[in-house]
Amino acid sequence: MRAATSAPAGLPGLDPRFSHVRGEWHYLDNGPVLAARGVHPTATVLAVHGNPTWSYLWRDLIAAATDRATAPAAPGEVHDVWRVVAVDQLEMGLSARTGRRRTLAERVADLGAFTEALGLDGPVVTLGHDWGGVVSLGWAVDHADRLAGVALLNTAVHQPDGAAIPAPLRLALARGVHRLGTSTTPAFLETTLAIAHPRLPDDVSRAYRLPYRSAADRAGIEQFVADIPVDLDHPSRAELDRIAAGVARLGARDVPALLLWGARDPVFSDRYLDDLVSRLPGAHVHRFEHAGHLVAEDVDYAGPVLRWLEDDVRPAGPDTGRAGAGGTGALAGSATVSRDRPASGTRTFRPIWATLDERGADPATAREPAVLDLTATGPGREVSWGALDHQVRRIAAGLHEVGVRRGDRVSLLVRPGPTLTALVYACLRIGAVVVVADAGLGLRGLTRAQRGAWPQYLIGQTTALAAARAAGWPGVRISAEPLDPVRRRVLGVEHELVDVARAGEGRELPPEPGPDDAAAVLFTSGSTGPAKGVLYTHGRLSALCEALAAHLDVGPTTGLVTGFAPFALLGPALGTRSVTPDMDVSAPRTLTARAVADAVRATDARLVFLSPAAILHVVETAVDADSGLDDADRDALGRVETFLSTGAPISAELLAAAQSIMPGAEPHTPYGMTECLLVTDVTLAGIRAVADAPDAGVCVGRPVGSARVLVSALDDDGAATGAPSDEPGVLGEVLISAEHLKESYDRRWLTDVAAERDTPPGRWHRSGDVGHLDADGRLWIEGRLAHVLTTARGPLAPVGPEQAVERVDAVRRAAVVGVGPAGVQQAVAVVESLPAARRPGLAPTALAEAVRAAAADVSVPIAAVLVVAELPTDVRHNSKIDRARLASWAGRVLAGGRVGAP
């Protein structure tokens, strides 16, 4: 037996004052340091490492908690104080080597014995990683009376029956490899250290190796791997199942929970995260896309843990010992939860399928067309309200028959049309959560989206099912198309939609979901950063439909043509017939003017929704010699009454060009985003009315319906730090609020925290856009917060000077970017010249002078002018210039680097 020892001095990031030994255990503890400072803790965080790490894993949290607790408090400041105790499990770290092979149940009992020896009566928050997460949860289940919350990094409490354990663990358990790889050699340890993102510093790696220098030291690593419950007969399987069931009971009690997850973990995949979320449905969850198994090394986890402790964990009792409160630190009672999850406003909830139910059941409307499909072979397919309602009910009941339950996620990878419409409303009707990701994200982006949302079911057409098979997307496969037996087996399809619908014929539907139940996860386009899942509740989707219907005066006779994916499915909810033109909705530039005319004619539509990228192509193809509009097309388009460009703000010139092919329509360009699909609106006439205004940016109009807009002023560093206000003329980040604002980002708690930072009471969202309000309450967008230049004269938004530069006759489009150190950046104009530049580089002298003079009119000095043949843009939103890419390119060019296309 080897006795426990203290940590030596000199380990990076670890204060030796925190290292202690009690009996067989080595542990880190900031309690004595707090006591010496006269600071009494609010509660204790009990941190448990996994295999093959040790308590050193938690050094950052101990240091951060101590620094926070001992920092001088500002007058009136009150914050909680957290004692952190991080134990080395027996046979691991610097704790004793007893020579015993310990099972999971014994490790849970060991932890209980340790806390008894230390006198931890509570409240206690458990924190665990890897198999230490299971052990910590075992303690939490057994000491629920002392529990204030549970926090976890990558771990698992359940292995599905019949599912293979992760490949790295199978290898580690293989005969002939197990002992050799775990104890005889340090291979298991070294492999774990090698998968950090980024690579661990050498001194940190040496610190992790410290307790495991010999084969005898590594016996615990071998035993821990052997104790993984690989099948139902494993000695530790019963204990794992007991803990898993106990965690679900904690979730039912709404015990505060935090899950911080490294998405690149080769062992604990999102399958295990999804299981934990199902057991702890109230947990805050954040997936770090670029972090892996060693998430505590890959990202700052300590800050988020302390933020969660401060905001969500509230140990009960009149005297919590909060720093600055003058308390004595007496600890008693269990935890209570403070969550900012208000209901969906005070409006009366009307589910979005209500109109479909009514029109489908009414003999006067049941035979009228509801959805048209112009992409089907032949003349197209028309589905009546009655047929759509019947099909929705059949599919809904059938999905319930095959196992889909309220809260289950269903990824829909089906082209727009009647089938997708029926699927969406069927899923919503039974409380399943619809997952929608744009195919334009590409295979890699879709894979990230599917793994991030982790749907339990995936319904797709053959192409999507093949991609799912190749990329390993999660979910029970349901084919939207009939398949032959061979293809069905190859694609891993368990059900066909036709059979699902048949199984639902005549079946009763389950109870309807309520307004605060989750309804959909909609992924952002990825044009302003990696695509994020945006969670909507039924109440918020309902509010969106009501806002659109009221603002646009949509009624049964309106008719809707939509080439904009987010609105392609709202026709039934709005109570009007709808059609998607013949196009690839993931590639807006596939839409032609003739396709729009065909769609308008087919549904006698008065309302047309298009994206900015689609409009460009529609305008271009309207006058094409071979495929342009004929007299019948122009006659159909002439009956359109309202036309909307939804997405990025577009110019008055482009709106006017679109109006020229729909001369009877009033053009609108609403401002919104996936997080809030309708914020403000302005018409072409409204834009022209302010054409001579001195305001910089694009006018996007006034708030619509319940929407509100405030602006948080920028400081000299370009950060939005000002108190949100509606003061005119203040440049800052745009904050939005509305009843139809998203519920949250999906499994991105820290993103939610950032989006709601320093906002007024109620539900607000920091948009990431910059702009200002004018004296009449109109919003002007001037770019993205990430693209603001920080010059010696203060922050500068790019859109205003870009507009000035684009008034130069020889300029087609322009981007203004910052080059140089923050705070003293120089404004550089990158332009598409007319005629197009043959090669990228410095602009000709005459063009450069004209650009500088135009920018000077808006008091912006331009340090350099560069020309390119084409500005880089997002491939699906070509109105969104990639300014970050241009700034990097311009910096290289002006530094004398190789001149190539940006």
Task: Give the 3-state secondary structure of residue 840.
Answer: coil
**Least confident residue range of 225-234, 446-455, 508-517, 748-757:** 225-234
What does the alpha-carbon distance between residue 450 and residue 746 come to, in Å, rounded to a whole number?
A: 12
**pTM for the full predicted model:** 0.90
**Confidence (pLDDT) at 819:** 96
pLDDT level of residue 376 (50, 70, 90 thresholds): low
Helix ranges (DSSP H) in 665-725: 684-689
What domains are there in the chain, each with its CATH number? Answer: 16-162+232-323 (3.40.50.1820), 340-537 (3.40.50.980), 788-902 (3.30.300.30)
Q: Average pLDDT, stretch 548-561?
A: 91
Q: Average pLDDT, stretch 565-594?
A: 83
Query: For the segment 788-827, what is each residue's pLDDT rounded down to a tens digit?
Result: 999 999 999 999 999 999 999 999 999 999 999 999 999 9
pLDDT surpassing 90 at residue 47 = yes
Who's near 541: CB < 8 A, 6+ residues apart?
352, 428, 519, 520, 573, 740
Query: For the segment 247-261, what is each residue's pLDDT rounded down to a tens digit?
Result: 999 999 999 999 999
pLDDT level of residue 170 (50, 70, 90 thresholds): confident
pLDDT level of residue 620 (50, 70, 90 thresholds): confident
**Confidence (pLDDT) at 625:** 65
Give the pairing type, strands 676-681 and 708-713. Answer: unpaired
pLDDT surpassing 80 at residue 173 = no
Query: For the segment 288-321, what is each residue's pLDDT rounded down to a tens digit?
Result: 999 999 999 999 999 999 999 999 997 644 344 4
Task: Give the 3-state secondary structure of residue 258.
Answer: strand
| Counts of helices then strands in the chain (DSSP H, E) | 31, 40
pLDDT surpassing 60 at residue 878 = no
Query: For the segment 414-472, what is each residue's pLDDT rounded down to a tens digit?
Result: 988 899 999 999 999 999 999 999 887 889 999 999 999 999 999 999 999 999 999 99
Query: For the segment 466-500, what is each residue's pLDDT rounded down to a tens digit?
Result: 999 999 999 999 999 999 999 999 999 999 999 99
pLDDT surpassing 60 at residue 273 = yes
CA-only gyration radius of the chain, Å: 30
Considering only CA atoms, which of 567, 517, 522, 514 is closest in space to residue 350? 514
Query: For the segment 718-759, what is each residue's pLDDT rounded down to a tens digit?
Result: 999 999 999 999 999 999 999 999 999 999 999 999 988 899
**Confidence (pLDDT) at 96:** 97
What does the alpha-carbon distance between residue 49 and residue 220 come to, in Å, rounded to a whole number?
A: 13
Query: For the segment 829-852, what is each residue's pLDDT rounded down to a tens digit?
Result: 999 999 989 899 999 999 999 999
Q: Which neighbouring-strand residues pair with 27?
A: 20, 87
**Confidence (pLDDT) at 416:** 84
What does the alpha-carbon distance between residue 500 and residue 400 come to, in Å, rounded to a whole number?
A: 9
pLDDT level of residue 876 (50, 70, 90 thresholds): very low
Query: For the segment 133-169, what is each residue's pLDDT rounded down to a tens digit?
Result: 999 999 999 999 999 999 999 999 998 766 777 777 7
Query: For the segment 646-680, what is each residue's pLDDT rounded down to a tens digit?
Result: 766 677 888 999 999 999 999 999 999 999 999 99
pLDDT level of residue 565 (50, 70, 90 thresholds): low
pLDDT surpassing 90 at residue 877 = no
